[in-house]
Chains A and B, each alone.
Chain A
């Protein structure tokens, strides 16, 4: 059975802190790993990772994939209150994507 496990489930930090969100997976026929940010409604796409060791960056967010150890991390530096959201990790397998339960990040002023 395919598994995608995210940790921690929830996290509360203060503005300016740096956070690391984790995603580990056990799947057959891995094709890609994606990170999404979900605020109130539909998740919005952040990163897609297919190769190990290559960091992807977008502003204060960055992510990297380790296909040997089967995990990915999402880093957010200098957090802002607007970063408060649920961050979803999803792994593309065969015909669809398997989602983790998400990490709820709360950034306090």
Chain B
């Protein structure tokens, strides 16, 4: 069966520090991978999605970046965090683009202080 792992679960980082959140999927090949952010009281906002190794699409301009160095690994990064980067970050995967449901990771709560 397929599983998705995301870590860390919580993170407190100072403004200007770097960020690296990691997500891995097991039990499937060539998944579509996604990073979402959920700010307090708001819906999920798509940040990046990837349909294959090295293929990254960005939905919103920001100081975050994503990379997919391996088929089942998706990394969210920042060189310098801003206060506005605080939020709940969710990684997800799906088999079929836009049609089948997503399976979400357990999320990372990032607080930038």
A residues sitting closer than 8 Å to B (CB atoms) are 4, 6, 29, 31-32, 34, 41-45, 48, 50, 88, 90, 92-102
Cβ of B35 to closest chain A Cβ, rounded Å = 11
A93 pairs with B98, CB closer than 8 A: yes
B100 pairs with A48, CB closer than 8 A: yes
| Cβ contact of A101, chosen from B32, B42, B90, B98, cutoff 8 A | B42
Q: Is the interface of A mostly helix, strand, loop or mixed?
A: strand
Q: 18 pairs across A/B with beta carbons < 8 Å?
A: A31-B98, A32-B99, A32-B100, A34-B101, A34-B102, A42-B90, A45-B101, A45-B102, A45-B103, A48-B100, A48-B101, A92-B99, A95-B57, A96-B98, A97-B46, A98-B46, A99-B43, A100-B43
- The size bracket of the interface on B is 20 to 34
Contact A42 to B98, CB < 8 A, known contacts A99-B43, A99-B44: no
